[in-house]
């Protein structure tokens, strides 16, 4: 959500933002409603002022004038009721539109329609040279029984999977490594709920627009697709002290996504699944663009370091406008090299929002006399099983066995054997 004053004063900028993000929003209608809203509010407030004045007179009045005053107020009241009815319907429509207004992408974000238009920022790491034909993770894990997709489907349905032995242990090793890395940097580790009420979803921008992609329970709660939702919800409706900022959280949770509308894509393997796990970086900082940018770069750096320490070849892309969510100002993706597919695959996503989320979530801090909405950012540190793809494919041997990255050996000190372990 944006500040209505900002919207009024920058209507063209926001229209352009919507166009760039390939989103539709009837801004003229919103502005029209806003004008009506202010006008009605003014009328109502004037009437109320009269009423309040009369009320204090009634309290002090003698019995006779009291009766006539009360009579006058009865008349005023019926006119007020009518105005209030009008205002209510205007506000309902106004609020609905307000939730649809996109945040403005940063100047540095390239324009484009989809992820195909994302712009490569850098490539890093060395792609492995195999003296054999590298296998895909599907074969590496599937053939050896480390991943079981047939039983996954039997038990869990489409896109279901089981991970066994080394694949399961590799997941734990990655989570633990990710956690250790960020704890060392002063991030607070947090295990957060995946079962979350609607409010934090509205606040983070996943509702109402993203309802299709969320699993909903019969109690009206939703399963979150990222730990960001609960972590931001943690601070909802709170006033933070400026000294407590930035809040740096490294959150872990299972993640659930319906992936509605992506039925044809990546139907096999561990790339696109309905249920996965994520270690997520979340930062809430003071409300300045510079702070946001600084932390955005820092979160990217953290994720890059993580991938580098695993010695995985990767590239960084700046997401184009059409690939940005409603609230995102800018987003970087990290894509890890997949020898099995001979292409990069997205593994990390790091974005900042300015006060788009905190405004919806009502997360503020007091800066001297002034209340401010904080700024928020988040980014992947590791998502499994997707990152397993890059690891097993880059660390495979000719015989189908898989080595363990050096940095993970303290958590998993044996090869990820192929075969029946």
Nearest residue (CB) to RNA, 38 versus 121: 38
* Cβ neighbours around 281 below 10 Å, total: 28
Which of 44, 51, 81 is CA-nearest to residue 69? 51
366 binds RNA (CB under 7 A): yes
Interacting residues with RNA between 78 and 97 (CB under 7 A):
88
Tell me the per-residue interface mask from 373 to 412 with RNA, x by CB under 7 A, - otherwise. Answer: ----------------------------------------
CB of 210 vs RNA, minimal distance in Å = 21
Tell me the per-residue interface mask from 31 to 50 with RNA, x by CB under 7 A, - otherwise. Answer: -------x--xx-xxx-xx-
Q: Is 299 helix (H, G, I), strand (E, B) or coil?
A: helix
Tokens representing residue 260 in the block = 């509605």
Among 64, 74, 133, 420, binds RNA (CB under 7 A): 74
Q: Which stretch binds RNA (CB under 7 A): 94-102, 120-128, 326-334, 361-369?
A: 361-369
Residue 94 phi/psi, 5° resolution?
-60, -45
CB within 8 Å of 101: residues ≥ 6 apart = 1, 2, 7, 14, 18, 25, 27, 30
CB of 264 vs RNA, minimal distance in Å = 37
CB of 369 vs RNA, minimal distance in Å = 7
Tell me the per-residue interface mask from 211 to 240 with RNA, x by CB under 7 A, - otherwise. Answer: ----------------------------x-
Give 370's strand partners.
367
CB within 8 Å of 159: residues ≥ 6 apart = 152, 153, 259, 267, 272, 273, 274
CB within 8 Å of 176: residues ≥ 6 apart = 411
Checking DSSP bridges between strand 364-367 and strand 239-240, what pairing results, if any? parallel
Q: Site for RNA (CB under 7 A): how many residues?
A: 28
CB of 71 vs RNA, minimal distance in Å = 8
Tokens representing residue 370 in the block = 């002034």
Binding site for RNA (CB under 7 A): 4-5, 38, 41-42, 44-46, 48-49, 51-56, 58-59, 70, 73-74, 77, 88, 239, 364, 366, 369, 371
């Amino acid at each position: 959500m944006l500040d209505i004053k900002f919207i009024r004063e920058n209507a063209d900028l926001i229209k352009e933002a919507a166009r760039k993000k390939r989103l539709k929003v009837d801004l003229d209608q919103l502005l029209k409603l806003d004008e009506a809203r202010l006008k009605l509010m003014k009328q109502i407030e004037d009437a109320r002022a009269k009423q309040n004045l009369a009320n204090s007179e009634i309290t002090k009045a003698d019995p006779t004038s009291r009766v006539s005053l009360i009579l006058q107020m009865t008349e005023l009241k019926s006119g007020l009721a009518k105005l209030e009815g009008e205002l209510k319907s205007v506000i309902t429509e106004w609020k609905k539109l307000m939730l649809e207004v996109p945040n403005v992408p940063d100047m540095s974000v390239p324009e484009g329609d989809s992820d195909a238009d994302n712009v490569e920022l850098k490539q890093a790491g060395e792609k492995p040279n195999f003296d054999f034909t590298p296998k895909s993770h599907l074969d590496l894990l599937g053939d050896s029984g480390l991943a079981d997709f047939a039983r996954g489907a039997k038990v869990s349905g489409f896109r279901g999977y089981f991970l066994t032995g080394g694949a399961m242990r590799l997941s734990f090793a990655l989570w633990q490594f990710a956690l250790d890395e960020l704890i060392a940097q002063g991030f607070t580790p947090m295990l957060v709920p995946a079962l979350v009420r609607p409010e934090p979803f509205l606040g983070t921008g996943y509702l109402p627009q993203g309802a299709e992609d969320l699993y909903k329970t019969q109690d009206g709660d939703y399963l979150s697709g990222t730990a960001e939702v609960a972590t931001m919800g943690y601070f909802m409706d709170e006033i933070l002290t400026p000294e407590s900022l930035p809040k740096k959280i490294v959150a872990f949770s299972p993640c659930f996504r319906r992936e509605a509308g992506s039925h044809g894509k990546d139907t096999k393997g561990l790339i696109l699944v309905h249920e996965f796990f994520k270690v997520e970086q979340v930062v809430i900082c003071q409300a300045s663009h510079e702070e946001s940018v600084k932390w955005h770069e820092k979160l990217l750096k953290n994720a890059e370091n993580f991938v580098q320490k695993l010695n995985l070849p990767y590239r960084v892309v700046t997401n184009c406008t059409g690939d940005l969510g409603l609230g995102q100002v800018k987003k970087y993706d990290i894509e890890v090299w997949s020898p099995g597919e001979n292409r990069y695959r997205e593994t990390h996503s790091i974005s900042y929002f300015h006060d788009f989320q905190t405004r919806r979530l009502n997360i503020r801090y007091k800066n001297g006399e002034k209340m401010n909405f904080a700024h928020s950012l988040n980014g992947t540190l590791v998502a499994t099983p997707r990152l397993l793809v890059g690891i097993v494919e880059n660390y495979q041997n000719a015989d189908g066995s898989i080595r363990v990255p050096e940095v993970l050996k303290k958590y998993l000190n044996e090869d990820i054997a192929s075969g029946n372990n």
